[in-house]
Chain A
Amino acid sequence: MIYHFDWSVLWSGQSGQWLLSGLLTTIKISALAWILAVALGILSGALRTVPLPPLRWLALSYVEFFKNVPLLVWMFFWYFALPPRLPDAIQDWLFDHGAEFWAGTFALGVYHGARFSEVMRSGIQSIPTTQFEAAMSTGLTTTQAYRHVLLPIALRLIIPPATNETLNLLKNSSVALTIGVAELTFQTRQIETYTARAFEALTAGTLIYLILCLTIAALMAWVEKRWAIPGMIARSSRTEG
């Protein structure tokens, strides 16, 4: 095999600009989806442990409904299948405001919310039940016990698996290229199309993803250390993804 590398394709022409805008779109879609996913995950994860069966059932249905269908199918569904069923005014507004971006963000956030929910539930369930009983016996309501006792502990405990899920979300944002979101993988392909330099373009995209992942992992490790509760066992190892 003879292949002549030409790394200059990455900074000549528009390539650099494309990579940068792809990186920014990846960060933007991941950050927005992450906020949605974490909010849904904390809410539904907490609801799965409350003493009220209808609420538990509701949260369980959300999780099982979304996590058993591929993210790609959800993207197609939110982007191709649903908008034509909406009223014309909403459709026009959506397609004037980057419908593919919002469909992608929504699909990513709701899908990963279901996965964050599992992480949150196991975090709450790993807290000894005496914590909850003690909180109740001091006269707190269930809501207060969750708000002031269980959630603050659980959120610290779940940092390692939540880091894993965050990285999965970031990597899965690449699926949004299928509905036309111009994120990092999309732009990497664009460079390949214009320069016919697959190896160089893919190397650049891959390195950017690796750097992003390492940065987030380091950041979360710092957060874990900063907010660790003295005396509770620090679980620093990464869990299965």
Chain B
Amino acid sequence: MDFTVILNNLQFLLVQGFLGFGTFAGGTLRLAIPAIFLGFMLGTLVGLGRLSHLFWIRIPAAIYVEFFRGVPLVMVIFWFWFIIPVVLGMSLPEYSVALAAFVVFEAAYLGEIVRAGIQSVPRGQVEAAGATGLTRTQTMRHVVLPQALRNMIPALVTQFIVLLKDTSLASIIGYVDLTKAAQIVNNREIRPFELYLFIAAVYWVSSYGMSSLARQFENRWPSAKS
């Protein structure tokens, strides 16, 4: 075992591959962080849609969720990779394709988290808000969503960890994340054992570290039980 290959390429692997600062668009975090925020926004719409009283909103939202939860992420990435050029008439860079695929895919899972979060807010809160004269939209905006958001935090952190690991799949369309960066170095140096062990350690530390932080947060400020 010879770990000098890691030291020699440390900057490329971590700064370009993991963080995403460098000469070209890439990076695990540069994909994962916008994807979770945009996915959460779309997921909120999907989650609210699933709770709608209007069937023509509720049913498409349910189909959206069930469809994306029944299809492998690899397949969704390929869909975006092959279909965007046909639909837009031009190809987009790997970064945009991967981001679009992750946002649309994650919104199905995040939508379920939002729905569960909203349903965790006690019914009495909604009734009390209605009794004070708030409209349905105002109730949602000022009473339900702030409490729901607090209850969603543990599930959102878990989903972000899942997403962080899933971004490794963006490497199949050539997006240079940590996994692809290790492949690139490996093609030149032929040191698979050291390189894959190293990136496994990087993923492990970030994933385990984040779930430990989430556990501490949950112990200190336990979520309100309905």
Q: Which residues of A contact B (CB under 8 A)?
A: 1, 3, 64-65, 68-74, 76-77, 80-82, 84-85, 167, 171-175, 177-178, 185, 188-189, 192, 198-199, 202, 205-206, 209-210, 213-214, 240-241
Contacts and interface: CB of A to CB of B under 8 A. Distances in A.
A72 B171 contact: yes
Interface string B78-90: 1100110011010
Given A174-B72, A205-B75, 20 more contacts: A1-B86, A68-B207, A69-B200, A69-B204, A71-B165, A72-B171, A73-B200, A74-B200, A76-B183, A76-B196, A175-B169, A177-B74, A177-B172, A188-B78, A198-B82, A206-B79, A214-B70, A240-B109, A240-B112, A241-B69
A70 B70 contact: no
Contacts of A82: 193
B107 interface: no
B57 to A, nearest CB: 21
A3 B169 contact: no
Interface in B129-160: 155
- Interface core residue of B72, B116, B192, B204 (most chain A CB under 10 Å): B72
11 contacts: A72-B169, A174-B73, A175-B72, A175-B74, A198-B86, A202-B79, A202-B82, A202-B83, A209-B75, A213-B70, A240-B116
B54 interface: no
A189 B67 CA distance: 20
A240 B165 CA distance: 17
Contact of A68 (B86, B113, B116, B204): B204
Nearest to B164: A70
A199 B83 contact: yes
Nearest to A68: B207
Contacts of A171: 70-73
A198 B77 CA distance: 13
Nearest to B186: A80
B214 to A, nearest CB: 13
Contacts of A210: 67, 70-71
Given A1-B86, A1-B87, A81-B193, A241 B109 contact: yes
Classify the interface of chain A: helix, strand, loop or mixed: helix
A84 B193 contact: yes
A40 to B, nearest CB: 19
B196 A178 contact: no
B21 interface: no
B61 interface: no
B165 A70 contact: yes
A69 B203 contact: yes
B69 A73 contact: no
A198 B49 CA distance: 31
Contact of A202 (B78, B87, B197, B207): B78
A117 to B, nearest CB: 15
Nearest to A172: B72
B72 A73 contact: no
Given A76-B179, A80-B196, A69 B165 contact: yes
A209 B83 CA distance: 19
A20 B222 CA distance: 50
Interface in B181-213: 183, 186, 192-193, 195-197, 199-200, 203-204, 207-208, 211
B168 interface: yes
Interface in B29-49: none
Contacts of B166: 70
A179 B69 CA distance: 24
Contacts of A188: 75, 78
Contacts of A185: 72, 74-75, 78
